[in-house]
Chains A and B, each alone.
Chain A
Amino acid sequence: GENVEQHPSTLSVQEGDSAVIKCTYSDSASNYFPWYKQELGKRPQLIIDIRSNVGEKKDQRIAVTLNKTAKHFSLHITETQPEDSAVYFCAAHPGNAGGTSYGKLTFGQGTILTVHP
């Protein structure tokens, strides 16, 4: 089955700096890669995603890049703000999404991001 590794496990930055979180996946057939932000006591919130036919996607201060050859994808947050402090999870969805695997996201272990004012 799929295996997703996420690094670093913790990341501390100063407000205004950039933050980068990296994930690698094992199944070359995976074709959808979402990123979730989870604040303390809250639900995981989908913040950005990318499909395997795209190399980069950007939404305001956040961007995701995908390297299919190396099987890794990264989350980039620019101009970080204290409200970006949260746990971030990457995930991968299988490409063979027939009835037996549709929806079966494999999550990374999470990165605790702290943005200091």
Chain B
Amino acid sequence: DTEVTQTPKHLVMGMTNKKSLKCEQHMGHRAMYWYKQKAKKPPELMFVYSYEKLSINESVPSRFSPECPNSSLLNLHLHALQPEDSALYLCASSSNRGFYEQYFGPGTRLTVT
């Protein structure tokens, strides 16, 4: 099963709200990722977790806060976002054993009003 799931599918939030995006995989992968994708652009890496530890933070603003509670789950906590943060947020996972294939979830379409 090469499936990564994400909830919710769509999210509309105001600039003062706090919300969370969730990602789950049951492939036994030990690396998980958050990407941001704007329309007609490639995915843009935000964070990488390897063995539940944050290994890469691509200088993402602190209003985005990642969390990896266990090897199957990845959260992205959102607070005080700006309208320009509206985008598709994609989660991905890979095995982290010398294999680099990343499998993406369906994404959460986020709109900040």
Task: Assess whether B104 is in contact with A104, with CB atoms less than 8 Å apart.
Answer: no
Give chain A residues whose Cβ lies under 8 Å from the Cβ of B107. 43
Select from chain A the residue with minimum beta-carbon distance to B91: A43
Count, chain A residues at interface, CB 8 A: 26
Tell which of B40, B55, B102, B105 touches A105, judged by Cβ atoms closer than 8 Å: B102
Within 8 A of B (CB), among A22-53: 32, 34, 36, 42-46, 49
Task: Assess whether A103 is in contact with B56, with CB atoms less than 8 Å apart.
Answer: yes
Give chain A residues whose Cβ lies under 8 Å from the Cβ of B100. 32, 34, 49, 93, 97, 102-103, 105
Would you give the shortest CB distance from A11 to chain B, in whole angstroms? 15
Task: Assess whether B48 is in contact with A102, with CB atoms less than 8 Å apart.
Answer: yes
Task: Assess whether B33 is in contact with A43, with CB atoms less than 8 Å apart.
Answer: no
Q: A43-B107, A44-B104, A46-B101 are known contacts. Are A99 and B50 too (CB-CB below 8 A)? A: yes
Asked if A73 is an interface residue, CB under 8 A from chain B, the answer is no
Interface-located stretch among A13-21, A56-64, A76-84, A106-114: A106-114
Would you give the shortest CB distance from B56 to chain A, in whole angstroms? 6
A interface, CB within 8 angstroms of B: 32, 34, 36, 42-46, 49, 87, 89, 91, 93, 97, 99-105, 107-110, 112
B interface, CB within 8 angstroms of A: 31, 33, 40-43, 45, 48, 50, 55-56, 90, 94, 96, 100-107
